[in-house]
Chain A
Amino acid sequence: MTVLFGQLFTGVSIGAVLLLIALGLALTFGQMNVINMAHGEFIMAGAYTTYVLQQTITGAGWSLLVALPVAFVVAGTMGVLLEVLLIRRLYARPLDTLLVTWGVSLILQQLARDVFGSPNVQTRAPDLLTGNIALPGGLTVATNRLFILTLAVAAVVALTLALRLTPLGRRIRAVVQNRDLAAVSGIATARVDRTTFFIGSGLAGLAGVALTLLGPIGPTMGTNLIIDAFLVVVVGGIGQLKGSVIVAFALGVLQATGEYLTTLSVAKVLVFVAIVAFLQWRPQGLFTLRTRSLA
């Protein structure tokens, strides 16, 4: 029972990490059709932001709290710069976007190496997030993973509400559904794109902060995760969030179960096989967005 619960919780928390990373991609890749290979480096930027803040602000708890908004802005700003300087010029050329952003990701990795040194660095977690909460029946929940789960859920709720209820969200949805019609209706699509990119990249920064609670911070930490995040968005279905949410948790639980029954490497293979099989059956992903757009 404790094992089963432990595994379920592990799966859900792997899913939460995946979700945090995929959420930003669901916006930039899912909504804007931009394949941004540098998304992983925005995660890294968020993680290093946490590290730098911890060097300046003493007290692990405060620096983590401060890091959340700061990392969001830092990664978001990097995203906007990337959008304004490069991606904006390549909107109709997806393959070129992919190549250019891949190049940017390599440049950012080297930059991190030059600034912070090649060896990975670590942050201290606040004491509150190093232990666990005991539940009745001998079950325990690690507080750092609970924190990440809460953060992921909060990010999904905030993003969903923003897309549904705010004027900005309405504009973003309008541009996704039919860019031309949105433009002739008086929506400044370029500005909407920039804002979307800011939020999407900022979410990657948040993911970076969360990851510092689990492992080391290094120049290549983003690349290790970006493939999984792309898979989440592709399997979930392009153009909406709910698919990504479901798939992130499903893949997390599948990974944890596979890992428990076999080994970590075999579990990874099982997950990939499951994804390939699923995409054979539903190439459009779990959910599809019906639009009147001809694109």
Chain B
Amino acid sequence: MTSFRGRILAGALTLVATAALAACGSKTTDAASGTGVSADVSGDTVKVGLLNSLSGTMAISEVTVRDSIMLAVEEINAAGGVLGKKIQPVSEDGASDWPTFAEKAEKLISQDRVAAVFGCWTSASRKAVKPVFERNKALLFYPVQYEGLEQSPYIFYTGATTNQQIVPGLDYLKAQGKKSVYLVGSDYVFPRTANKIIKAYAEANGMTVLGEDYAPLGSTEFGTIVNKVRSSKADAVFNTLNGDSNVAFFKEYTSAGLTAESMPVVSVSIAEEEVKGIGTQYLTGQLTAWNYYQTTPGAANEKFVAAYKAKYGAEKPTSDPMEAAYVAVHLWKAMVEKAGSFDVEQVRAAAGGITFEAPEGTVTVDGPTQHIAKTARIGRIGADGLITEVWNSGQPITPDPYLKSYPWASGLS
């Protein structure tokens, strides 16, 4: 009886493995020649690709980025398009699965022949598509804060790099007199690299890291991690969890009796949209580090928030990655118009120094790094689910993805 059962289970595993292999085998390799596929701009429209997770654990965050890109595309089309051509968006679902991202990127570039792709959220998905864009010499606009230490010639990074988000976050904690931190993150490249940077910072600034723990992406069991965090008696927690693991983490955190007063959590991947999903009852008073909040003052932001709510509903909040994605489309338009061409190399050459009156304030493209100068902002989550700024860097911070201007970071890159 038992051995029969064993055979059945073995059979099931073989089946699953076969299905997985079949999925791998079906990947298109049309553009493997390495010469690059030029965008199709022959008609009176130009296609751009949207690559976001519309399903799976990351959908909580990435769907809003897609919505925001669509808003920017509509605005540009209403104002006459780019170089006289209307933008035609092509949306693909990365499904929170990194090989799928690579497959869909290949499809957008070689089948749809898009002029640029906007999207990706997790660094794991960006790392998965990076070789695809480099091989095809195609452009990706990546709109999310990330761990730095990267500079691909075919990626524009419109979210924050570490010196525009994590380092200011740590500076803020230090200024508040926090001497010890506990690091909690999802188990993939962004949190691990970010925590490496945090540990180097802590060592140079007299802070102690009392522990670091990682949970697989999508994990919902945080009993042990929260128990460890609580018993560490750290002054603060630095949270690099992504996706809806945050829901389980903060439910557990609150159940354990920990609050923003007793042990504040600084999160770098929780924006207005996630706050709504996690539930404000678990988050009130906790801190976030970003470059933009819905409450950020300024005419450009008022216009952006109003347009977004008019299109998607008054209860929909705007957030930093959405803003960065919105800015990315407008920056691409400005680059194309300055270059006078959709050609990738000419667009790249034209990029440096381009500015845009973004909702977060004026942003400037840094030519050599293809990152963007942004103002860092620390915010506190309110009971209404919105985040209000408690500190900002005063002026845009020049991107420094390899942290070359920070002596303590010399061993990292």
Contact = CB atoms under 8 A, between A and B. Distances in A.
Interface in A1-40: 2-3, 6-7, 9-10, 13-14, 35, 37
B218 interface: yes
- Chain B binding site: helix, strand, loop or mixed by DSSP? helix
A150 interface: no
A6 B257 contact: no
B85 to A, nearest CB: 32
A118 interface: yes
A125 B219 CA distance: 19
A84 B248 CA distance: 37
Given A6-B227, A98-B11, A98-B12, A215 B248 contact: yes
Nearest to B245: A215
Interface stretch (A168-176, A243-251, A258-266): A258-266
A283 B6 CA distance: 9
User: Interface extent on A, as a size class?
Assistant: 35 or more
A264 B257 contact: no
A145 B231 contact: no
A119 B60 contact: yes
A23 B187 CA distance: 31
B224 A259 contact: yes
B255 A143 contact: yes
B11 A95 contact: yes
Contact of A122 (B56, B215, B221, B247): B247
B208 interface: no
Interface string B217-237: 011110111011011000000
B8 A7 contact: no
Contacts of B215: 264
Contacts of A234: 5
B297 interface: no
Interface residues of B, number: 48
B90 interface: no
Given A7-B224, A120-B59, A216-B220, A263 B256 contact: no
A213 to B, nearest CB: 8
Nearest to B232: A3
A113 B54 CA distance: 11
Given A98-B11, A256-B223, 8 more contacts: A119-B63, A119-B277, A215-B220, A215-B248, A256-B224, A265-B216, A283-B2, A285-B2
A214 interface: yes
Contacts, number: 134
B278 A122 contact: yes
A144 B12 CA distance: 35
B251 A215 contact: yes
Interface in B1-43: 1-6, 8-9, 11-12, 15
Contacts of B8: 35, 94-95, 98
B163 to A, nearest CB: 29
Nearest to A6: B227
Contacts of A230: 9
In order of increasing CB-CB distance, the 6 nearest A-B pairs are A215-B220, A118-B55, A10-B223, A142-B255, A215-B248, A119-B59
A132 interface: yes
B55 A295 contact: no
A144 B223 CA distance: 12
B224 A144 contact: no
B227 A10 contact: yes
Contact of B255 (A145, A259, A260, A263): A145
B244 A265 contact: no
A186 to B, nearest CB: 27
Interface of A: 2-3, 6-7, 9-10, 13-14, 35, 37, 94-95, 98-99, 102, 113, 118-120, 122, 124-125, 130-132, 134, 140, 142-145, 211, 213-216, 218-221, 224, 230, 234, 238, 256, 259-260, 263-265, 283-285, 295
Contacts of B187: 264-265
Contacts of A125: 251
Contacts of B2: 238, 283-285
A113 B214 contact: no
Contacts of B254: 130-131
A249 to B, nearest CB: 14
B213 interface: yes
B84 interface: no
Nearest to A257: B224
Contacts of B54: 118
Given A264-B214, A265-B214, A284-B2, A120 B57 contact: yes
Nearest to B227: A6
Contact of A264 (B57, B224, B279): B224
A143 B254 CA distance: 11
- Which of B11, B213, B244: most chain A Cβ within 10 A? B244
Contacts of A132: 255-257
A98 B248 CA distance: 31
